Amino acid sequence: MATLTLLFSKEEIDTRLDALAKEINAEYAGKELVLVCVLKGAIVFFSELLRRLDFDVEVGFVRVASYGLHGMESSNQVQLLQDIEYGEGELAGKHVLFVEDIVDTGQSMQHLFAHFAKKKPESIKLVGLVDKYGRRQVEIHTDFVGFRMEDAFVVGYGMDYMERYRNLPAVYTLSLD
Ligand code: 5GP
Ligand code: MG
C-alpha cells in the first residue's frame, strides 16, 4: 500500500520560493541568465520560480536519466537524454542556473556541471527545491536551497513515483508497504 504524508504545504513552498527568488533576483541583476530546467521533476518548481524573476531570462531544458526509470534508487550511471541549444563554447557571456527538484546523491548534477563547463558560461550554479544532504555521494554544492532534508522519498509538485503524483500541489513523503 502507498502512504502519502504531507511534508511541505503549498503555502510553505510559496513562502520559500518568494525568499529564493529574492536571492536569485539580487544575484543575477544586470547579468544574462539561462535558467535551465532539469526535466521532468523540476517542471513545477521551475515555472513557479521563473515567474518570480524580475529580469529578462532565457530558459533551457535538459533531461538526464539517473534513477532507473521506475525505481526509488539512484544508479551511478548518468545519461544525458536532452541538451540545450547552445553547444561547446557557445555560452560565453552568459550565466547558467540549473533548476533541480531534488539534489540527492549529486551524480546527475555532477554530470551536468561537467557537460555545461564545455559550453564556457561565465558561471554555473544550482537551485534545488529539496537538498537531500544525507544522501550525497559526490561533492555538489546547492547554491540556493528550498528545503533541506536528510533523507526520505518525496513526490508531488512535479515529482513522481513511476510517473504518478506529479500533479499534487504540495510535497509528500511516499512510503510503500
Ligand atoms: P541524484 O543524481 O542526485 O542522485 O538524483 C537526482 C534525481 O533523482 C533528482 O533529480 C530526482 O529526479 C530523482 N530523485 C531523487 N530523490 C528523489 C525523491 O525523493 N523523489 C523523487 N520523486 N525523485 C527523486
Ligand atoms: Mg530531477
pLDDT for 41: 97
Surrounding residues of ion ligand 2, Cβ less than 5 A? 38, 41, 101
Q: Which of 18, 104, 151, 160 is catalytic?
A: 104
Q: How far is residue 11's CA from residue 34's CA, in Å, rounded to a whole number?
A: 27
133-150 pLDDT, tens digit per residue, is 999 999 999 999 999 999
Q: Which long-range contacts (CB under 8 A, 24 or more apart) does 150-157 make?
A: 152/7, 153/72, 154/7, 154/102, 154/130, 155/4, 156/4, 157/8, 157/13, 157/44, 157/45, 157/101, 157/129
CA distance 157 to 18: 16
- Ligand 1 mutation target, pool 98, 104, 147, 168, most atoms within 8 A of CB: 104
For residue 77, the model assigns a pLDDT of 82
Q: What is the pLDDT of residue 177?
A: 83
Query: Measuring from each residue's beta carbon to the nearest atom of ligand 1, which residues come in under 6 Å?
Result: 38, 41, 66-67, 74, 100-108, 153-155, 159-161
Distance, CA of 159 to CA of 173 (rounded, Å) = 11
151 catalytic per annotation? no
pLDDT at 14: 98
Mean pLDDT of the chain: 94
User: What does pTM read for this prediction?
Assistant: 0.95
Task: Kindly state the average pLDDT of the residues 38-52.
Answer: 98
pLDDT at 27: 98
Ligand 1 pocket mutation, candidates 73, 74, 173, criterion most atoms within 8 A of CB: 74
The residue-averaged pLDDT of 161-167 equals: 97
Residue-wise pLDDT for 53-88, tens only, equals 999 999 999 999 975 545 666 666 889 999 999 999
Q: Which atom of ligand 1 is nearest the CA belonging to 106?
A: 3
